[in-house]
Amino acid sequence: MATSTALRNKIIAAMGGGAIAIAAAIIPSLEGVEHKPYQDVVGVWTVCYGHTGADIIKSKTYTEAECQALLNKDLREVAN
């Protein structure tokens, strides 16, 4: 019996969601967190759990909730 395309897509989406959840749980302990933006060794502005990009506000101290939101956003972008 062949798996329908819709079911296959649902299974793939569920697997991706599971992988994102696992990554979100593991990354903080591996990456560490910096609530204040800093320039990494090659000069890229970075904050929280390794987030980079033009949206970083250099003078801001990010909350843990903001760092989690950035991590989730970054993981969703990688998954898609």
Q: Hey, which residues are catalytic here?
A: 31, 40
Amino acid letter, 59? S
Q: Which residues pair with 47 in a beta bridge?
A: 51
**Which of 62, 80, 17, 21 has the alpha carbon at shortest distance from 53?**
62
At 79, the amino acid letter reads A
User: Do 76 and 20 meet the contact criterion of CB atoms below 8 Å apart?
Assistant: yes
